[in-house]
Copies of this chain bind each other. A is one copy, B any other.
């Protein structure tokens, strides 16, 4: 029951058609290397428009249904029998989300997740564009396994990884857009970013796949360089493959999910959890509440 997964990375521009062509070429390249599940980076259809605050960027959003981006990759997934988590800017009535559609190998949309944790830093102006997601953390059944997919800033939260694992996920996927900090040019969060996700893999005893963009993007005075470094870990948190900081790249790894499941079961961490002691996790301020409720 081996499954081959791929992480990918690429630069994006305001030539939107070229972004899609480039993404499709990367997916094809991954498929040619035997990948069955291919992860593209966060919001690969456009530049990372959250680099600044521009009303017109809301025009980039599309609904889940009848979305040309998703439909294009549904056809591609069906033709090549691939599972493709597709990150997109979602419009839903008056609301806007940072979302992902998980396309199964038959082209069907098998899952739909909305980013739960929304960051806000200079040049990561996400709280302006996106409402915090309301779907909760999901595990999606696909032809090649039960996937947990969360988005970028979600990857910093052990709670999200654990909730996906508890929902039955067997591999965790994180499409990402992260790079330099405009007002802290010396700050390089790459190792921190990888350490957190290697921890999710190790703690939940399952592989983690992360795809991050590369390239430099500009808006007026603001310039951001994404650091790539997309990677795949094993179920012990060891990085098996890691991309460089600036190349368009496809990397793959193959897992025996049945063997990983047996190891996870034997390791006992899901037997010995203490939900009776975790009440404070349902608060922001750490207050223990006897009834487990949030204030």
Chain A interfacial positions (CB closer than 8 Å to B): 116-121, 132, 136-137, 153, 156-159, 161-163, 165-168, 191-192, 195-203, 236-238, 268-270, 272-286, 288, 291-294
Q: Which residue of B lies closest to A159 (CB)?
A: B278
Pairs A-B, 5 closest by C-beta atoms: A199-B199, A195-B237, A166-B286, A158-B158, A195-B202
- Cross-chain contact B162 with A158 (CB below 8 angstroms): yes
Give the contacting residue for A279; candidates B282, B284, B285; CB below 8 A. Answer: B282
- Cross-chain contact B273 with A195 (CB below 8 angstroms): no
**CB-CB < 8 A to A198: which residues of B?**
195, 198-199
Q: Which residue of B lies closest to A283 (CB)?
A: B275
Give the contacting residue for A236; candidates B195, B280, B288; CB below 8 A. Answer: B195
A282 to B63 alpha-carbon distance, docked (Å): 33
Give the contacting residue for A203; candidates B156, B269, B274, B292; CB below 8 A. Answer: B156
Q: Which residue of B lies closest to A294 (CB)?
A: B275
A202 to B191 alpha-carbon distance, docked (Å): 9
A200 to B168 alpha-carbon distance, docked (Å): 22
**CB-CB < 8 A to A195: which residues of B?**
198-199, 201-202, 236-238
- Cross-chain contact B284 with A273 (CB below 8 angstroms): yes
A268 to B196 alpha-carbon distance, docked (Å): 14
- Cross-chain contact A191 with B236 (CB below 8 angstroms): yes
A137 to B277 alpha-carbon distance, docked (Å): 8
A293 to B293 alpha-carbon distance, docked (Å): 7
